[in-house]
Amino acid sequence: MKLFLIAGEPSGDRLGAALMAGLRSLVPVEFSGVGGPLMQAEGMASLFPMEELSVMGIAEVLPKYLHLKRRIRETAEAALASGAVALVTIDSPDFCLRVAALVKARRPQMRTIHYVAPSVWAWRPGRAAKMARVIDHVLALLPFEPPYMTAAGMTCDFVGHPVVAEPLATEAERAAFAGPGPLLLALPGSRRGEVARLAPVFGAVVGRLKARHPDLRVALPTVRGVADLVRALTADWPVAPQIIEDAAGKRGAFAAADVALAASGTVSLELAANACPMVIAYDMHPLTLWLMRRAALVDTVTLVNLVSETRAVPEFIGPDCRAERIAPALEAVLADPGAQRAAMALTMQRLGRGGEPPGLRAARSVLAALRR
């Protein structure tokens, strides 16, 4: 069996790699498509570097529109020529669903599966019906998502969130970050645009915290595609961050940190998996923010808040993403680190911790969808 997979950013690369491993444990399968280092390690030769697709927001995409449009055409042609029985797209809907549309137009019988349901419960509910024109089956990460997908005409399974199966730090990995002062985990994102926007704000927050905690330490896990930019933008921070690119270092930092300041996104679930209390901050181009707020259906963007049905994690979005507002919230979390514990534990339970690994559940769902 041949499958064509597409992932457009590091979180999708992790999902894709786990799905590939799960599928290979069940059936003989060959993969082609677009993916990052983890999917490549599972046997995929990526059509082009995945990092080309790691852009977000209308204003951020516009300068790269023609290049992305060309990549959409190239990817669709490669999928059609691959001999694959199905196209599996992973998150990155602006790119992936356009590829799926071209594939379906040319070959309607080719099965299309999308991994990560669009957050229609948060904004733009009409996206589900639009997606149903080109997608047959959806793999959902959150337990409340399948009804939204089936109502639009697709089949859908909740397969669990991969964060519940990721390995936690060993004692030695945690001990590597032991020190005399509080450890702040700074996580300004995995896309170049968001790092460029958030790094100056995070640096100003670090300065305010250092004034209260002279022995403050900062760890900053990052990914290959933005590591160079992170180094450049943090060079003048009041506390030089320890920049981490390896998996063991990341696990140790997540386990040892006293508090985290993180961009909005999946990382809040990674922090919850490690019981690391957090504050979420995010900013974007004013046009993108205005459009998203007009369409918003929920009052929080933080996944821990949504899954646990609490508002335990403070967040500072858009105009509120300012050091003078964020720093006091971090101080409050440092003073009461247990306040988020129950919400984080409930989140992990609802996402499938203790059950079958999500990558294997996703693989079973894909195979079931192909049999239907």
Does residue 45 fall inside a structural domain?
yes
Does residue 165 fall inside a structural domain?
no
Distance CA 171, CA 38 (A): 25
- Asked whether the beta carbons of 296 and 122 are under 8 A apart, the reply is yes
Q: What are phi and psi of 123, to 5 degrees?
A: -165, 155
pLDDT at 66: 84
The enclosing domain of 154 has a CATH number of: 3.40.50.2000
- Asked whether the beta carbons of 149 and 140 are under 8 A apart, the reply is yes
Same domain, 272 and 360: no
pLDDT at 225: 83
Same domain, 325 and 197: yes
Distance CA 364, CA 345 (A): 27
Given a cut of 70, whether residue 60 has pLDDT beyond it is: no
Tens digit of each residue's pLDDT (9 = 90 or more) over 344-363: 999 999 999 999 999 999 99
Extract the tokens encoding 272.
């919850």
Residues paired with residue 262 on neighbouring β-strands, in sequence order: 187, 280
Does residue 135 fall inside a structural domain?
yes
Distance CA 283, CA 279 (A): 14
pLDDT at 82: 97
- What is the average pLDDT across 144-164? 95
How many structural domains comprise the chain?
2
Same domain, 99 and 206: no
Share of the chain above pLDDT 70, in %: 95
Tens digit of each residue's pLDDT (9 = 90 or more) over 208-247: 999 999 999 999 999 888 999 999 999 999 999 999 999 9
Same domain, 316 and 292: yes
Does residue 17 fall inside a structural domain?
yes
Does residue 213 fall inside a structural domain?
yes
Extract the tokens encoding 38.
């983890």
Same domain, 331 and 363: no
Same domain, 282 and 304: yes
Same domain, 101 and 154: yes
Same domain, 96 and 219: no
- The closest alpha carbon to 243, from 218, 214, 208, 215, belongs to 218
Compare 191 and 154 and report the one with higher pLDDT: 154
Same domain, 145 and 53: yes
Q: Can you give the chain as a three-state secondary structure string?
A: CEEEEEECCHHHHHHHHHHHHHHHCCCCCEEEEECCHHHHHCCCCECCCHHHHCCCCHHHHHHHHHHHHHHHHHHHHHHHHCCCCEEEEECCHHHHHHHHHHHHHHCCCCEEEEECCCCCCCECCCHHHHHHCCCCEEEECCCCCHHHHHHCCCEEEECCCHHHHCCCCCHHHHHCCCCCCCEEEEECCCCHHHHHHHHHHHHHHHHHHHHHCCCCEEEEECCHHHHHHHHHHHCCCCCCCEEECCHHHHHHHHHHCCEEEECCCCHHHHHHHCCCCEEEEECCCHHHHHHHHHHECCCCCCHHHHHHCCCCCCEEEHHHCCHHHHHHHHHHHHHCHHHHHHHHHHHHHHCCCCCCCHHHHHHHHHHHHHHC
Given a cut of 50, whether residue 58 has pLDDT beyond it is: no
Tens digit of each residue's pLDDT (9 = 90 or more) over 314-343: 999 999 999 999 999 999 999 999 999 999
Share of the chain above pLDDT 90, in %: 82
Does residue 247 fall inside a structural domain?
yes
Residues 6+ apart with CB under 8 A from 2: 29, 30, 31, 32, 82, 83, 84, 85
Instruction: Kindly report the pTM of this predicted structure.
Output: 0.80
Domain that holds residue 298: 171-350
Q: What integer best gives the mean pLDDT of the chain? A: 93
Does residue 332 fall inside a structural domain?
yes
Residues paired with residue 32 on neighbouring β-strands, in sequence order: 4
Same domain, 20 and 153: yes
Does residue 166 fall inside a structural domain?
no
Same domain, 112 and 177: no
Same domain, 278 and 314: yes
Distance CA 208, CA 37 (A): 37
Q: At what angle do helices 192-212 and 323-335 cross, to 10 degrees?
A: 60
